[in-house]
Amino acid sequence: MGGNRYRSTSPLGDYGRHRSSPRVLAHYNDDAMGGEENLDELFAKLKEELFKNNTLEEVNEMLREENDAALAANEHLRVDATNLSKQLQQLQQQQHTESMRFRSENTRYRNQMESQHRKLISLWKEFSAVKRQVRDSEIPEF
């Protein structure tokens, strides 16, 4: 009975196999004995409803295609976003590595400069001490 659920035994013949709007069916039930004018009117309404149905099916198909295209675009964007996130993480890691290397080199350079500065001060003090000894060891001439 599942396949014959919407099968009609109306005088409309094959057109009755298509589901129609309740409006047309109600009109058909009210005026079943109305004559040929009502039958022509029913055929016209049936054709109109079939046209609407076909139009809506076309619109639905178009919307499905647009939805599929949007889903595909979203998938591409998701893949792109994932790739960009990975690249960003790599760049952040590289930047962090470079920053640590720079800090290490900067610290080493600063330590080297401080060491040289201490040596220079030590040499200056030794030079000043030697100069003082030379000056003190000279005998003043009268």
The whole-angstrom separation of Cα 138 and Cα 142 is 12
Residue 48 gets the label, from left (phi > 0), alpha (psi -120 to 50) or beta, of alpha
How is residue 141 annotated by DSSP? Answer: P
pLDDT for 4 equals: 47
14-29: average pLDDT = 55
Domain boundaries, the chain: 13-137
CA distance 135 to 142: 16
Q: Residue 1: which pLDDT band, with cuts at 50, 70 and 90?
A: very low
Q: Angle, to 10 degrees, between the axis of helix 36-137 and the axis of helix 22-30?
A: 170
- Residue 99 CA to residue 105 CA, distance in Å, equals 10
Average pLDDT over residues 124-129: 96
pLDDT (mean) for 36-51 = 92
CA distance 10 to 12: 5
Structure tokens at 21: 């709007």
CB 14 within 8 A of CB 42: no
- 68-113 per-position pLDDT tens digit: 999 999 999 999 999 999 999 999 999 999 999 999 999 999 999 9
